[in-house]
Structure 1
Amino acid sequence: AAPDPALVAEGEKLFRKCKACHQVGDKAKNRSGPILNGVVDRAAATVDGFKYSKGMVSAAEDGLTWDDATLRAFLTKPKDVVKGTKMSFAGFKKDAELDAIIAYLSTFHD
């Protein structure tokens, strides 16, 4: 089922906090963070051409996949989920924000 359009719109607003480091969409490029097209349910550290932190590579080798539960945990406290991540984001605090940002990200595919 397609995500709720209102939730996606809210996620798009929240994504402004992510744009300094990440891009989505047809013309997305890696920046200080990787492209996030297709991130939902993707194995971690698999974007071509992006230099991941040792912590993220290690987590990927241990089988980290960006499913709903893992994305929620990472977007709440990145450094608790992936030790040594370069992501300096403090985290979203509210479940509604997590619902919205994940709904938004789910609309972008590889």
Structure 2
Amino acid sequence: MKHLAALTAAFLCLAAPAFAGGDAAAGRAVFRKCATCHTTEPVNRVGPTLAGILDRPVASVADYSYSAAMTGFAEGGRRWSEALLAEYLLSPRAMVPGTAMTFAGLKKSEDIANLIAYLKNPAAQ
């Protein structure tokens, strides 16, 4: 677990400057990996809507049944900041053991930065 924390910290240091410069158009292409389960419209699918995810409380979408692992992760008022979302997208199951999300994660920091740029305002693309 210590190694994961060190890896995550190193990743966030490298990826942090990319948040501001992420390419939303490229993020739209990355989002195709998410679109099987998620949408950027205010509608839930297999996974909860990702519309307005940034700064939204974790596990807070109405009418969506989150796993016990995700509701436990949300305790303490966690919100989806860019940094938290970047860490989660790197390896969802490592960050939230027991999550129902089966996606292995995005390995490229550029893909994560681009996806976050897209999620900030998907309608603008």
Q: If the length of structure 1 is used for normalisation, what is the TM-score?
A: 0.87
Look up the equivalent residue of 2:81 and give its one-letter code.
D
1:64 Cα deviation after fit: 2.4
Structure 2 residue aligned with 1:9: 25
Structure 1 residues 62, 79: CA separation in 2 closer, same or farther (over 3 Å shift)?
A: farther
Look up the equivalent residue of 1:75 and give its one-letter code.
L
Q: What SS does the corresponding residue of 1:10 show, helix, strand or coil?
A: helix
Q: What SS does the corresponding residue of 1:69 show, helix, strand or coil?
A: helix
Structure 1 residue aligned with 2:94: 80
* Distance in 1 between residues matched to 2:107 and 2:117, nearest whole Å: 16
* Distance in 1 between residues matched to 2:84 and 2:107, nearest whole Å: 15
CA contact (8 A) 1:55 1:83 kept: yes
5+ residue gaps, structure 1: none
CA contact (8 A) 1:76 1:93 kept: yes
5+ residue gaps, structure 2: 1-19
Q: Which structure shows the bigger proportion of residues in helix conformation?
A: 2
Structure 1 residues 89, 35: CA separation in 2 closer, same or farther (over 3 Å shift)?
A: same
- Aligned runs of 1:68-107 on 2, under 5 Å? 68-107=82-121
Partner deviation per Cα, 1:4-63 (whole Å, 9 max, x = no partner): 6x80100000100001100113xx421110000110111101111000000011111233
Q: If the length of structure 2 is used for normalisation, what is the TM-score?
A: 0.77
Identity of aligned residues (%): 40
Bigger Rg, which one: 2
Structure 1 residue aligned with 2:34: 18
State the superposition RMSD in angstroms: 1.8
Structure 2 residue aligned with 1:34: 48
1:108 Cα deviation after fit: 4.8
